Amino acid sequence: MTVIIISFSVFIPLNHFSYAIVSLIYDWGQLSSEQLHKIANYLQAVSLTLPFQGINALLIAVLAARKDTKNPLICSSLLAVAFITIGYGFITEISEIFSLMVVIYATLSFLLLLILTLQHKISLLNQKTFLVELLTVIAVSLLYYLFL
């Protein structure tokens, strides 16, 4: 759960303050305001992968504890091949690559959760404490985002 809390605590400020962060790093008078906004939009798009990366790290750790490292490897490898194939075959804009990254990470989260549920008979969603903690993290993140 700590991994998910950390990923959300990084995601929210990165997403909310993306323009300020980009301005701080790149605004030396070399880039126009339009270019800074474009880079900030890219940062926001990439930051959307952070919660999924945290969830994936948690699910892979649970699977590793169950001595199942093959399934995450297969899922990750197939999704990496899909990312490269779709990226090289169909994508023309960098923003589409970032969107594809989010979809790939979310798909990996879904597949790993499916493996845990169907193959290992572990349902994290039926665990009352897990749901309460996850909802708490989401609620705190939303409050943080809304009031900052």
- Contact assessment for residue 82 and residue 138, using Cβ atoms and an 8 Å cutoff: no
Q: Is the pLDDT of residue 145 over 60?
A: no
Of the pLDDT bands very low, low, confident and very high (cuts 50, 70, 90), residue 28 is: confident
Q: What is the pLDDT of residue 1?
A: 61
Range 99-125 average pLDDT: 87
Q: Which residues of 34-60 are buried (b: 16+ CB within 10 A; e: fewer)?
A: eebeebbebbbbbbbbbbbbbbbebbb
- Contact assessment for residue 42 and residue 94, using Cβ atoms and an 8 Å cutoff: yes
| 50-108 tens-digit pLDDT | 888 888 988 899 999 999 999 999 999 999 999 999 999 999 988 889 889 988 998 99
Amino acid in position 4: I
**Residue 17 DSSP one-character state:** T
Q: Is the pLDDT of residue 115 over 80?
A: yes
- Contact assessment for residue 69 and residue 121, using Cβ atoms and an 8 Å cutoff: no
Q: Record the pTM.
A: 0.76
Range 26-49 average pLDDT: 86
Nearest 5°: CA angle at 100, between 72 and 55?
40
